[in-house]
Amino acid sequence: MSIQSIMGTGLSALFANQQALKAVSTNVANVNTVGYSRLDVNFVSRSASGGMAGVEIEITRVANTFLSAAEMRGAADVSAADMLAQFMDRAQGLLGDPSDSSSVFATLDPVFSSFGSLAVDPSSALRQSSALSDLQTLLSQLDTTAEEIAALRDESHTRIVSAMEEANALMSGIARLNTSIQRATIGGVSSTEAETEQSRMLDRLSEIIDIRTQERTLGGVEVRTADGLLLVDIDAAVLGLSSTSDGEAYQGLVMMSPRSTTETPLESHLGGGELKGLLRARDHELVNLQLAFGEFAAGAAETLNAAHNSGTSVPAPNELTGRNTGLLATDRLNFTGVTHIGIVDASGNVVRNFRVDFNTQQILDDQANVTSFANSVGDFQTALNTAMGADGQVSFANGQLQLEAMAPGTGLAIRDDASSPAMRAGKGFSHTFGLNDLVTHGNALGYATGISGTDLHGFTAGQTMTFAVRNNDGSIMRRVDFTVGAGATMDSLRADLNTALQGYGQAQLNAEGRLQIVPTSNNVARIDVTQDTTVRGDTNMSMSELFGLGESIPLQRSRSLSIRSDIGSNPQLLASAQADLAGAAAGQRVLSPGDGRGALAIEASSTTSRRFAEAGGLVGQVTSISDYAARLAGHAGVRAEALEASKAAAQSVRDEVRARRMGEEGVNLDEELIKMTTYQQAYAAASRMIQAARDLYDITLNMV
């Protein structure tokens, strides 16, 4: 014990309080720095050889790992919900304001109303072209809206790529800081600045990907995904798009672990964050909207077609060319009921009249001649061709049925019987073959093919397809290859599909001949098709085109719908009349120019119920196109509202956690000011101590 030691102790207190004041000034300086954890000062008394020898100081970052982990999770949830809400908000906005005439749904009404007005004066060129122009507006609006939803998906994809680039930059930054923190720790130097910077980067990274952090023994952190995949230690993983693609619309996301060049699929490891939200918007929510919108557009087109096929234009068209139905000549007819096919002259008088009875498989003409046919498409075509003789010609090739009236000036009229209409899979004769469609599309609009389980499937053994099993987020969980087997019937095709799908899904063929693959496993949401090389005979149609399997084909149905080209260029071909063929003898008039019943039928079709298949979260239902429009609007509105609400909920959780973390880690100015006063006074006291020791020295020296 000496005066010198008092001097030393006082000096240590001076130094310690100086350091403490420095920490306080750093805290005060960073009072507004986001993500800054305040520095805490611990005084530790210094002991030497059993006696007290002053004080030393430790400066640490106040970091609450639990709260920061909770905030990271919260941040990830908020960003995911935010991205989803943003995209769905924009998507529902594309459908327009429901209360004015700009919405896509509002363009439906004028179409039906103009056909009602056409019925008032069916041969008016003005009314015909006005009906067509309203129809064209509807079709363009459908196309534009679908295109904009598709553009939103593309945009979410672009944002995924840029989010990955930002994540890559952040991860390599965190890895670099890990190295310098590690070096500082080993060298015994303070690394608080690097840690603060790193924590800021972690906060941003946690918004992009749902991450978990773990302290490393040598300083710094290890970053992993929520399910434990290593992203950063002293090296960083690299995120990117898969270098291989397998027919899906967007390339998959992959990750190369630190120091590795192997691509690991990333989607299934993401638990939250912007990336997850964007992926879910791209592969789930927007796809669902596209699918539902596709079903709506196809429903509108099919509603119009069904009604238009019941009518005939005046004068009757010389030739009726059907659409590619995907049917083969060997397919069974599967029709029930009766249809009337007439050849009429320019004044609408019957030249020939055929009553086709599918129940008895006989064609009865106006001269009481009977022609029988077997239950196949090809045989029916031959029989009708024979029955028509020199007056008409019927051909069937590449899935298309074609009827032609041979004598100049004559035309063809078809009308299903009023009491026992011809019917196959819910469609009339003319509609089944699309002989007098109003709206056309490159592919099939409806997938009720009328093919039954015992019919031949028509695909060639050895042709292949690849199915992609998608989970509830829309990410691909698995790919399943399928090869068409040796069995020739639809039932055997279905069984082969079930085997190939290994319990993920089941192929079902409904009564109307629609083949669907229904997910059977809990976490499987949809079964998509990524590749399809199957072709049905000479029709050039693949299995997915015929039955609407997967997503990319059904959702395209709202795109490029057009008015049948010959009607577009000659509005007189609008089927505004209906031919009274039932029982009409040769020479009897069955078509009149002032007859507007065909147009009336089209007007009435807006409230006619038809079957809508399950699409994009909207359940399958039998309803009218007007009602379906309302349900789709309600669905989109509610979905966007719900996502907005879940975003608000996630946000409030995050805010709460952030407030607590700020309370724990943040700088409180009052606290800092009190500390400053304390340290200032302690500094003054210590200097007073040194003064006292000096006085002691003086006294001692004077004594000498």
Partner 1 sequence: MADLQRAQRELVEAARQSSAQTKASDLKGYGREAQTLVSAERLAGRLTGFKATANELTTRLQIQDVALGRAAESVTKLKDELFQNLSLDSGEGIRAQLEEAFAVLKDTMNTNLGGRYLFGGVMNDRPPITADSLSDLAANPLTDSIEQGAASQMMRVEDSRVVSAGLVADDVITSAFASLKRLAEMDEGVDGPFDGDLTATQRAAVTSELTALNTAFDTILSRQSENGRLTKEVESASTRLTSRMNALDEAIGGIVNVDLAEVAVRLNQAQFAYESSASVFNVLRNMSLLNMLE
* Residue 542 found at the interface with partner 1 (CB under 8 A): no
Residue 292 CB, nearest distance to partner 1 (Å)? Answer: 13
Which residues face 321 on adjacent strands?
402
**In the complex, least distance from residue 373 CB atom to partner 1, rounded to whole angstroms:** 34
Residue 222 interacts with partner 1 (CB under 8 A)? no
Determine contact, residues 488/331, Cβ cutoff 8 Å.
no
Tokens of 510: 């409904």
Smaller CB separation from partner 1, 52 or 125: 125
Contact between 640 and partner 1 by CB under 8 A: the answer reads yes
Q: Which two tokens stand for residue 639?
A: 């979905």
By CB under 8 A, is residue 670 in contact with partner 1? yes
Q: Which stretch binds partner 1 (CB under 8 A): 258-266, 403-411, 517-525, 590-598?
A: 590-598
Among residues 90 and 183, whose Cβ is nearest to partner 1? 90
Among candidates 469, 481, 562, 483, which has minimal Cα distance to 518? 469
The answer to whether the beta carbons of residues 353 and 428 sit under 8 Å apart is: no
Q: Does 677 bind partner 1 (CB under 8 A)?
A: yes
Does position 617 bind partner 1 by CB under 8 A? no
The tokens for 404 are 């032609």
Question: Where does this chain touch partner 1 (CB under 8 A) — which range of 92-100, 206-214, 321-329, 555-563?
Answer: 92-100
Q: Which is nearer to partner 1, 214 or 347 (CB)?
A: 347
Report how far apart, in Å, the C-alpha atoms of 8 and of each of 49, 433, 684, 697 are.
Answer: 15, 105, 15, 14
* Contact between 1 and partner 1 per CB under 8 A: no
Task: Tell me if 296 contacts partner 1 by CB under 8 A.
Answer: no
Tokens of 369: 């001649």
Using the minimum distance from each CB to partner 1, give the nearer residue, 581 or 633. 633
Nearest to 350, CA basis, from 309, 419, 411, 421 = 411
Query: How far apart are CB 356 and partner 1 at their closest, in Å?
Result: 25
Distance CA 466, CA 548 (A): 15
- DSSP track, 401-441: EEEEE-STT-EEEEEE-SSSB-BBTTB-HHHHHTTT-SEE-
- CA 170, CA 176: separation in Å to the nearest integer? 10
Contact with partner 1 (CB under 8 A) among 638, 685, 696, 699: 638
279 touches partner 1 by CB under 8 A: no
Among positions 40, 121, 197, 614, the unique one binding partner 1 when judged by CB under 8 A = 121
For residue 555, the Cα-to-chain-centroid distance in whole angstroms is 10
Closest CA to 558 of 627, 639, 616: 616
Among 6, 468, 600, 682, binds partner 1 (CB under 8 A): 600
Q: How many residues bind partner 1 (CB under 8 A)?
A: 57
Establish if 345 lies at the interface with partner 1 (CB under 8 A): no
Residues 6+ apart with CB under 8 A from 23: 39, 40, 41, 59
Across-strand partners of 222? Answer: 214
Q: Min. distance of Cβ 304 from partner 1 in angstroms?
A: 15
By CB under 8 A, name the one of 33, 62, 93, 218 that touches partner 1.
Answer: 93
Residue whose CB is less far from partner 1, 412 or 591 = 591
Sequence letter at residue 286: L
- What interhelical angle do 597-604 and 108-120 show, nearest 10? 160
Nearest CA among 200, 18, 62, 65 for reference residue 671: 62
According to DSSP, the residues that pair with 643 across neighbouring strands are none
The piece of 52-60, 190-198, 235-243, 670-678 that touches partner 1 (CB under 8 A) is 670-678
Looking at the Cβ atoms of 374 and 669, the one nearer to partner 1 is 669
Specify whether the CB–CB gap between 434 and 444 falls below 8 A: no
Write down the least CB distance from residue 93 to partner 1, Å.
5
Selected range binding partner 1 among 65-73, 110-118, 438-446, 473-481, rule: CB under 8 A: 110-118
- Distance between CA atoms of 652 and 74, rounded to whole angstroms? 9
**Least separation, in Å, of the C-beta of 349 and partner 1?**
11
Choose the stretch contacting partner 1; rule: CB under 8 A; options: 9-17, 296-304, 510-518, 625-633. 625-633
Choosing from 6, 24, 72, 119, the residue that interacts with partner 1 (CB under 8 A) is 119
Footprint on residues 42-81 left by partner 1 (CB under 8 A): none
Task: Select from 485, 513, 484, 518 the least CA-distant residue to 503.
Answer: 518
Residue 470 or 675: which CB sits closer to partner 1?
A: 675
Note if the bond before 110 is cis, omega within 30 degrees. no
Per-residue tokens: 40: 């805490």
Q: Which one of residues 30, 64, 113, 572 is an interface residue with partner 1 (CB under 8 A)?
A: 113
Q: Which residues bind partner 1 (CB under 8 A)?
A: 89, 92-93, 95-99, 103, 105-106, 108-110, 112-114, 116-117, 119-121, 123-124, 577, 589, 592-597, 600, 603-604, 606-607, 626-627, 629-631, 633-638, 640-641, 644, 655, 669-670, 673-674, 677
